[in-house]
Amino acid sequence: MPKMKSNRAAAKRFKISGTGKAIRRKSNLRHGMVADSRGTKRKKGSSVVVAAADQARVLRMLGQR
């Protein structure tokens, strides 16, 4: 049986952390940030762990489990 292919769209959007959790980038960082405060814009630049309810689905798309 051949290997499973990972979902290429998901592979471009998510990374796996050292502990095995999926990490994603924050949204709303392209345009229209004039209304956002300085701190909000700074926080949007960082990465966050994917919600626990979505972890299994994202890891399956990445071919981890």
Average pLDDT over residues 9-30: 96
Give the pLDDT of residue 1: 79
Distance separating alpha carbons of residues 51 and 5, to the nearest angstrom = 23
Give the pLDDT of residue 63: 92
Give the tens place of pLDDT for each residue, 20-58: 999 999 999 999 999 999 999 999 999 999 999 999 999
Beta strand residue intervals within the chain, DSSP E: 14-16, 22-25, 47-49
> Burial level of 58, CB count in 10 A (0-12/13-18/19+)?
buried
Q: Please tell me the pTM assigned to this model.
A: 0.83
Q: What is the DSSP letter of 29?
A: -
Domains along the sequence of the chain with CATH: 8-61 (4.10.410.60)
